[in-house]
Amino acid sequence: MNNNLDFQFGMYESATDSIIINTGENAILVICCKECNSSVIFDDPNDIVYLYRLAEETPLLYAKLALKENGLQDYVDAMNEFN
């Protein structure tokens, strides 16, 4: 996969629990949040709310972290450090 994708626009689609991204190459990228979230280990099951809020409020950041190895796990771990 091209690690230099040019994300032009992204939005969270609640009906499908996915991030839909216009990559600027006449193509879209669809990231299934349920699948990505299932790879994260949570200290507390309620910590999944960090990922739901991230997807809804900043879908492009969610997408970039989801495409990065351990990106979502590192995000949740960092949020736990702050809280």
* Residues whose CB is less than 8 angstroms from the CB of residue 55 and which lie 6 or more positions away in sequence, other chains included: 12, 19, 33, 62
What is the pTM for the complete model shown?
Answer: 0.88
Q: How far apart are CA 53 and CA 21, in angstroms?
A: 17
Q: How much of the chain exceeds pLDDT 90, in percent? A: 78
Instruction: Render pLDDT for 35-59 as a digit per residue (tens, 0 to 9).
Output: 999 999 999 999 999 999 999 999 9
Average pLDDT over residues 14-29: 90
Q: What is the pLDDT of residue 3?
A: 57
Higher pLDDT, 1 or 55: 55
Q: How far apart are CA 28 and CA 26, in angstroms?
A: 7
Q: What is the pLDDT of residue 61?
A: 95
